[in-house]
Structure 1
Amino acid sequence: MRAASATRNAPAPGRRRARQQRRRRARRRTAFGIGLLCSLTVLGVTAFMVLGDKDGTGSGGPTAQARPIPPLSSSSTAAQKAPESPTPTPTPTPSPTPSPSAVTEKGKGTFTIATASGSAVGKGTVRRYRVEVEDGIGIDPQAAARQVQAILSDKRSWTADGKNGFKLVSDGVYDFTVKVASPDTVDRICGSAGLDTKGEVNCDVGKQVVVNSKRWLTGSPQFSGTLDDYRALIVNHEVGHRIGHGHEGCPGKGKPAPAMMQQIYGLNGCVSNAWPYTAEGVYISGPSVP
Structure 2
Amino acid sequence: MGRGRCRHPSSGGRTPRPRPPARTRLTRRGRLLVLLLCLAAGLGGTGLAIAAWDTGPGPTPRAAPDPATGGPAAPDSPGEVSSDPPSRARVPDSGSGTFAPARLNGSPVGSGTLRRYQVQVERGSGVEPDEAAAEIQRIVAHPRGWARNGRGRFQLVTGKADFVIRIATPKTADRLCAEAGLDTGGELNCETGKGVVVNLKRWLTGSPRFAGAPAAYRHLIINHELGHALGLGHLGCPGPGRPAPVMMQQIKGLDGCDSNAHPYGTNGTYLAGPAL
Tell me if TM exceeds 0.5.
yes
Structure 1 residue aligned with 2:118: 130
Instruction: Work out whether residues 157 and 276 of structure 1, in 8 Å CA contact, stay in contact via their aligned partners in 2.
Output: yes
CA distance in 1, matches of 2:83, 2:167: 20
Q: How many equivalent residue pairs?
A: 206
Whether 2:172 is the aligned partner of 1:149: answer: no
Give the SS at the match of 2:119: strand
Structure 2 CA distance for partners of 1:161 and 1:227, relative to 1, 3 Å: same
Structure 1 residue aligned with 2:206: 219
Instruction: Work out whether residues 193 and 229 of structure 2, in 8 Å CA contact, stay in contact via their aligned partners in 1.
Output: no
Structure 2 CA distance for partners of 1:177 and 1:97, relative to 1, 3 Å: same
| RMSD between superposed Cα atoms in Å | 2.3
1:1-290 matches, cutoff 5 A = 92=62, 95-99=83-87, 102-171=90-159, 173-289=160-276
Greater helix share, structure number: 1
CA distance in 1, matches of 2:275, 2:152: 21
Structure 1 residue aligned with 2:18: none
Structure 2 CA distance for partners of 1:98 and 1:254, relative to 1, 3 Å: closer
Residue type of the partner of 1:150? R
Structure 2 CA distance for partners of 1:91 and 1:254, relative to 1, 3 Å: farther
CA distance in 1, matches of 2:122, 2:93: 12
CA shift, 1:100, in A, is: 7.7
CA shift, 1:152, in A, is: 0.4
Structure 2 CA distance for partners of 1:258 and 1:163, relative to 1, 3 Å: closer
CA distance in 2, matches of 1:286, 1:85: 52
Bigger mean CA deviation after superposition, 222-231 or 211-220:
222-231
Q: Which entry has the higher C-alpha Rg, 1 or 2?
A: 1
Q: When the two structures are superposed, what TM-score results if normalisation uses the length of structure 2?
A: 0.70
CA shift, 1:243, in A, is: 0.4
Residue type of the partner of 2:206? G
CA shift, 1:228, in A, is: 1.1
Identical aligned residues as a percent = 52
